[in-house]
Amino acid sequence: MRHSIILLPLLCLAAPVAAQQPDDLNRVIDEGLNHSQVMQIAQHLTDDIGGRMTNSPQMRQAEAWTADQFRQWGLSNVRKQGFRFGRGWWIAGSSVKMVSPRPIQLTAIPIAWTPPTNGVLSAPIIVAPMKKERDFDAWRGKLAGKIVLVSLPGTGDEPNEAAFQRLKGEDIEKLDRFEQPKNDPASLERLMKRLSFIRKLEAFLKAEGAVGWARQSYRDGKLLHGEGYDFGVNDTAALPGVEIAAEDYRRLARLAKTGPAPVLEINSDVRFDDSDVNAYNILADIPGSDPKAGYVMAGAHLDSWVAGDGAADNGAGSAMIMEAARILKSLGIKPKRTIRFALWSGEEQGLFGSMAYVDEYLATRAPGPKEEQGREEMYFRYKTRFPITPKPGYADLKAYFNIDNGSGKLRGLYAERNVAAVSLLREWLSPFASMGAGNVVSQPTDGTDHEYMQAIGVPGYQFIQDPLDYESRVHHSGIDTFDHLKAEDMRQGAVVLAGLLLQAANSDKTLPRMPLPTQPAVSDPFKYEDPSLD
Amino acid sequence: MRHSIILLPLLCLAAPVAAQQPDDLNRVIDEGLNHSQVMQIAQHLTDDIGGRMTNSPQMRQAEAWTADQFRQWGLSNVRKQGFRFGRGWWIAGSSVKMVSPRPIQLTAIPIAWTPPTNGVLSAPIIVAPMKKERDFDAWRGKLAGKIVLVSLPGTGDEPNEAAFQRLKGEDIEKLDRFEQPKNDPASLERLMKRLSFIRKLEAFLKAEGAVGWARQSYRDGKLLHGEGYDFGVNDTAALPGVEIAAEDYRRLARLAKTGPAPVLEINSDVRFDDSDVNAYNILADIPGSDPKAGYVMAGAHLDSWVAGDGAADNGAGSAMIMEAARILKSLGIKPKRTIRFALWSGEEQGLFGSMAYVDEYLATRAPGPKEEQGREEMYFRYKTRFPITPKPGYADLKAYFNIDNGSGKLRGLYAERNVAAVSLLREWLSPFASMGAGNVVSQPTDGTDHEYMQAIGVPGYQFIQDPLDYESRVHHSGIDTFDHLKAEDMRQGAVVLAGLLLQAANSDKTLPRMPLPTQPAVSDPFKYEDPSLD
């Protein structure tokens, strides 16, 4: 008898709120687990298409294929949302060799949006670590004709933690600690200064007559990444640049310290594609039965870097979004609210796809300073523009769910300080608690496509995911390939997402919203800036 | 008062037995820590010379340079001990590209001692996993004109343990559990069969008209290794073979499963060098004052594989051996017994350098079967030859210490079941207990150059070392480079080794020996063989 007393509230918790269609959740689970297509979708995006740099020919392929899939599955209003981005760029081939003092093929990759070498560039290196403008003086007059190694060579890493992890209960508990917002304009200005340094460095190297430059990979183990940000049409760097594997970079640096400067041969056969300076989000709907009920949305960015095949970041998220759409559509679900699926572009360079969505459909922010020209800076300054003027569609978006943390199992949602929304989110996730996805924690997250929605007060949330080896070695690296995706996790993710969207679309309730943000006060008005941080 | 009672035996333990020259140990420590050359030695072997495959031009450089160093430091009787090995082989350049369905530069390395492609070999792949001869039937008639992928493509790894580890007390305790010897001739025969499979596979591929073959790397994360064993002069494989990074191999396999076979372009510019079929050990002595007292010896193998620079395996051990020699010689130490330093060749292919030392100086084993022609099989069968006939020098070798477990700190010695030797070994190590090196454990180890000495009853020991990331990612791989060596560990290692040799060379005692081994009884004469293991 005591058992029934205890069980009663548990049963209440476990009952989905969308009790109108209790079968539907189990049909979603059946379709998503017994008839899954999520790995086939991911395999096409990664193996067949490969790394999908914004505006590259590969990304164009991915835009066409994903839109076509949505259409084939019968989704409505499948469309491309264009926004001005910049140049396409891709790697046709590349090779970096040390030719003296002894021949070695180095592990290296051209840095994104750097220009080609136009054949083989052969030159001695010079190790000239520079982090700030004041470091330039030491190297003035010494760089002509050289390939300049600009990173300070460090020492090898000591990976004392397992590369592959799953979240334990206590890890998730730690995320559920309310974190007060901070507004520290000075630290933002410091960041802006650091970001503009790379362009000053490029200009300095060019002015000094250097013929190319190289930096060290930020991960050991011969992993490569190659991120770069000079993607504006009039913004191309003057010199070819490559990222060299840490082990190879440090060997070059030691050889240069103990003997004659090693000579490199760099062949960076990279290509620009200016046929269309617009990037495109792919949007597709399952229309709702009640046009006044608004819509719910899920999204992931389709673009990636190019050292790997853009699998965990973010073929995985894209495939889960697409699979959730396929599952819901294939079951003939007719939700009350429209369910919208979004595949964003330009995420890796500054969340530009979701920014374009906010600008076009949700709210107008005050104009930014003139120097914001499709660059990283825009990303960091965008949220500092006030006032925010909601557009007519602002209130229609009832919830947005974003996936961008690899292929790990969905473990719940970050509530982004919206403590009033926690109980409803928990309710919607409760059917998936036994799949590990029942958690809602208060912490905010950033750096992906829900961020600009959160920043205007729209309930946009990111999933908690098992980290697997995403941060430790896969994120942006050459091993971001299909076989680092976990099929069981991906199937769980698609099912949880589809089930959550279904409930959010049919619920009698909508999520409590945050107040419309206004210019926040400086968190610590009494603080002195430490000049040594400059 | 209770404290002093407890402290008394601890103090006794800590007193070095070689009390004749109490200053010398501290002079060794001073020279090895305040004036160390160990990292400079390792840097030359790895960065300047690079991977040192047995009989390759790089190994010839290393032989000359190490002998020259010993001479410059004033060691005596510096000499090369030659033994017949086989061909030299090195990589002048190599490239493996997938050219269709889309262009990607693959991460790959030629397999050791495979022949060159003589320009670019372009052919479609076929995935034909074969592990046993009976697997050939499924592929007969299907391989002509193909590059054959012979590994079964697995799924991605999940590294749940930290790649970088140090030994804790309990880890060392576990090693101190006496393990009874086992003699299981049937399992040896099974192993022999597996080893001969690769040659049968190569012959099958050739007979079927395949044009090349590829296998999958056994580590994920784009690490490469490239071990191969067809080094006999008349033993060269017919077809070029490459090892492809796991991520790239699996992508090829998936593409072949879901669409037209990918086409590869392989350029394997590898070179044979038959100018001298002998390999050479480098030996150097610090002569003892008492010609009748015998000698003690320390050794490490100088040869390596070639994906990396042979740093942890075994530039580290070689550098510690050389540094110990330098330290002892530079201090003008005149030991009672000769101290001999050995840098072995041919270790990676079967401990052939130390085998040659045993054969020439220590004991004659019964001749082996005819098929032992410088191949892996010889390594596994050598210890099965009885009787052992000691040579005149057999009793002169009082102790041999081997280093071959990377650059990790020395933590003590494996006593190889010689429980009678434990107390004396502990005594000799006790001055280094506070450096972490005071442990002696009973377990045996194998797979390196003390093994054949142990096998004839000579007291040959391997050091316990902190594993660092040796087994997890560095051993034999492309990241076996200088910057995965730990300088503090290497200095400790050289000091501990020098101090141990000093004490062993001057001690009034010598290590108790094991009885001369004779043909062992089969451990389980009642066992039936499981035919499924064939």
Q: Which residue has the tokens 């790697």?
A: A91
Q: How far is CA B473 from CA A238, B155, B498, in A?
A: 38, 18, 29
CB contact under 8 A, B163 and A159: yes
Which helix (DSSP H) or strand (DSSP E) does residue B344 occupy?
strand B338-344
The Cα B360–Cα B453 span in angstroms is 12
Q: Which of A350-359, B34-43, B184-193, B449-458 has the lowest mean pLDDT?
A: B184-193
Beta-sheet pairing, B263-273 with B410-414: unpaired
Task: Give the confidence band of B19 by pLDDT, cuts at 50, 70, 90.
Answer: very low
For residue range A480-494, what is the model confidence (pLDDT) as tens digits?
999 999 999 999 999
Q: Which residues lie below 8 Å from residue B69, measured CB to CB, with a gap of 6+?
A: B41, B322, B326
What is the mean predicted confidence (pLDDT) over A430-459? 97
Q: Which of B75-89, B185-199, B317-331 has the lowest mean pLDDT?
A: B185-199
Contact indicator for A16, A437 with CB cutoff of 8 Å: no
CB contact under 8 A, A102 and B48: yes
For residue range A182-209, what is the model confidence (pLDDT) as tens digits?
999 988 888 888 888 998 999 999 999 9
| HSE of A403, CA atoms in CB hemisphere, 13 A | 39
Res B16 pLDDT > 60: no
Contact indicator for A458, A394 with CB cutoff of 8 Å: yes
The Cα A277–Cα A54 span in angstroms is 10
CB contact under 8 A, B255 and A47: yes
CB contact under 8 A, A95 and B92: no
Classify residue A134 by burial, with Cβ atoms within 10 Å: 0-12, 13-18, 19+.
exposed
Residue A21 has a pLDDT of 59
Domain boundaries A23-86+276-347+397-506, corresponding CATH code: 3.40.630.10
CA B406 to chain CA centroid, nearest Å: 10
Residue A187 has a pLDDT of 87
The Cα A382–Cα A361 span in angstroms is 16
Q: Which residue has the tokens 């039937």?
A: B137
CB contact under 8 A, A221 and B479: yes
Res B247 pLDDT > 50: yes
CB contact under 8 A, B162 and A164: no
- Work out the minimum CA distance from B155 to partner chain A, whole angstroms: 6
The Cα A25–Cα A7 span in angstroms is 22
- Work out the minimum CA distance from B220 to partner chain A, whole angstroms: 9
The Cα B283–Cα B298 span in angstroms is 10
What the block records as the tokens of B413 is 């010695």
Task: Give the confidence band of A513 by pLDDT, cuts at 50, 70, 90.
Answer: very high
Residue A377 has a pLDDT of 67
Contact indicator for B63, B345 with CB cutoff of 8 Å: yes
CB contact under 8 A, A47 and B105: no
Local structure of residue A109 (DSSP, 8 states): E
B107 touches A: beta carbon within 8 Å: yes
The Cα B420–Cα B432 span in angstroms is 21
Q: Which residue has the tokens 């580890």?
A: B165
- For B155, name the nearest residue in chain A, comparing CA atoms only: A483
Residue A511 has a pLDDT of 98
Residue A194 has a pLDDT of 83
Q: Which residues lie below 8 Å from residue B314, measured CB to CB, with a gap of 6+?
A: B300, B301, B302, B303, B304, B347, B403, B404
CB contact under 8 A, A473 and B255: no
- Give me the residue spans of the domains in chain A: 23-86+276-347+397-506, 89-156+165-273
Contact indicator for B49, B58 with CB cutoff of 8 Å: yes
What is the mean predicted confidence (pLDDT) over B74-101? 96
Q: Which fold has domain A89-156+165-273?
A: Glucose Oxidase; domain 1 (3.50.30)
Residue B5 has a pLDDT of 38
Q: Which residues lie below 8 Å from residue B508, measured CB to CB, with a gap of 6+?
A: none
Res A18 pLDDT > 80: no
Question: Rounded mean pLDDT of chain B?
Answer: 93
Assigned superfamily of B12-86+275-506: Zn peptidases (3.40.630.10)
- Work out the minimum CA distance from B398 to partner chain A, whole angstroms: 38
Q: How many other C-beta atoms can be found within 10 angstroms of the C-beta atom of residue B314? A: 32
CA B323 to chain CA centroid, nearest Å: 19
Q: Which chain A residues are closer than 8 Å to B307 by Cβ?
A: none
CA B449 to chain CA centroid, nearest Å: 7
Residue B9 has a pLDDT of 39
A107 touches B: beta carbon within 8 Å: yes
- Work out the minimum CA distance from B46 to partner chain A, whole angstroms: 9
Task: Give the confidence band of B20 by pLDDT, cuts at 50, 70, 90.
Answer: very low
The Cα A42–Cα B251 span in angstroms is 12
Q: Which residue has the tokens 């010889």?
A: B378
The Cα B507–Cα B104 span in angstroms is 62
Q: Is the dihedral of CA B252, B253, B254, B259 positive or negative?
A: positive
CB contact under 8 A, B309 and A162: no
Residue A20 has a pLDDT of 45
The Cα A332–Cα A343 span in angstroms is 22
Residue B380 has a pLDDT of 81
Q: Please report the ipTM that was assigned to this predicted complex.
A: 0.93
Mutation for B interface: A251, A271, A472, A485, most B CBs within 10 A: A251
Interface subset of B 297-316, CB within 8 angstroms of A: 308-309
What is the mean predicted confidence (pLDDT) over B157-185? 96
Mutation for A interface: B97, B248, B251, most A CBs within 10 A: B251
Q: How far is CA A85 from CA A240, A302, A365, B46, in A?
A: 22, 15, 19, 46
Mutation for B interface: A41, A155, A475, A483, most B CBs within 10 A: A483
For residue range B55-71, what is the model confidence (pLDDT) as tens digits?
999 999 999 999 999 99
Residue B375 has a pLDDT of 62
For residue range B328-345, what is the model confidence (pLDDT) as tens digits?
999 999 999 999 999 999
Residue B14 has a pLDDT of 40
For residue range B433-445, what is the model confidence (pLDDT) as tens digits?
999 999 999 999 9
What pTM value is reported for the model?
0.94
Contact indicator for A86, A303 with CB cutoff of 8 Å: no
Looking at the DSSP bridge assignments, the partners of residue B162 are: A162
Q: Which of B163, B259, B484 sits opposite A163 (nearest CB)?
A: B163
What is the mean predicted confidence (pLDDT) over B313-327? 98
Q: Which of B103, B221, B484 sits opposite A473 (nearest CB)?
A: B221
Contact indicator for B356, B81 with CB cutoff of 8 Å: yes
Residue A349 has a pLDDT of 93
CB contact under 8 A, B158 and A468: yes
CB contact under 8 A, A468 and B50: no
The Cα A185–Cα A4 span in angstroms is 56
Res A3 pLDDT > 60: no
Classify residue B528 by burial, with Cβ atoms within 10 Å: 0-12, 13-18, 19+.
exposed
Contact indicator for B106, B96 with CB cutoff of 8 Å: yes
Residue A531 has a pLDDT of 78
Share of chain A above pLDDT 90, in %: 88
CB contact under 8 A, A103 and B95: no
B221 touches A: beta carbon within 8 Å: yes
Residue A371 has a pLDDT of 60
Which helix (DSSP H) or strand (DSSP E) does residue A212 occupy?
strand A212-216
Q: Which residues lie below 8 Å from residue A337, measured CB to CB, with a gap of 6+?
A: A288, A290, A293, A294, A295, A296, A398, A504, A505, A506
Contact indicator for A237, A202 with CB cutoff of 8 Å: yes
Residue A12 has a pLDDT of 40
A60 touches B: beta carbon within 8 Å: no
Asked if domains A23-86+276-347+397-506 and A89-156+165-273 share a fold, the reply is no
Q: Which of A93, A162, A246 sits opposite B103 (nearest CB)?
A: A93
The Cα A427–Cα A431 span in angstroms is 8
Q: Which residues lie below 8 Å from residue A20, measured CB to CB, with a gap of 6+?
A: A506
The Cα B534–Cα B522 span in angstroms is 20
Higher-confidence residue of B282 and B529: namely: B282
CB contact under 8 A, B48 and A93: no
Residue A193 has a pLDDT of 83
Residue B203 has a pLDDT of 96
Q: Which of B104, B160, B258 sits opposite A162 (nearest CB)?
A: B160
Question: Rounded mean pLDDT of chain A?
Answer: 93
CB contact under 8 A, B247 and A484: yes
Mutation for B interface: A90, A125, A247, most B CBs within 10 A: A247
Interface subset of A 256-275, CB within 8 angstroms of B: 258-259
Q: Between A and B, how many residue pairs show a Cβ–Cβ distance under 8 A?
A: 123
User: Phi, psi at residue B199, to the nearest 5°?
Assistant: -70, -35
What is the mean predicted confidence (pLDDT) over A460-476? 98
Contact indicator for B111, B241 with CB cutoff of 8 Å: yes
The Cα A290–Cα B361 span in angstroms is 93
Residue B376 has a pLDDT of 63
CB contact under 8 A, B479 and A158: no
Q: Which fold has domain B88-155+184-273?
A: Glucose Oxidase; domain 1 (3.50.30)
Q: Which residue has the tokens 């910057």?
A: B483
A249 touches B: beta carbon within 8 Å: no
B104 touches A: beta carbon within 8 Å: yes
Q: Which chain A residues are closer than 8 Å to B164 by Cβ?
A: 157-160
Burial A196-229 (b: 16+ CB within 10 A, else e): eebeebbebbeebebbbbbbbbbbbbbbbbbebb
Interface subset of A 194-213, CB within 8 angstroms of B: none
For residue range B391-427, what is the model confidence (pLDDT) as tens digits?
999 999 999 999 999 999 999 999 999 999 999 999 9
What is the mean predicted confidence (pLDDT) over A125-149? 97
- Would you list the DSSP string of A275-287? S--EEEEEEEEE-
For residue range B222-242, what is the model confidence (pLDDT) as tens digits?
999 999 999 998 889 999 999
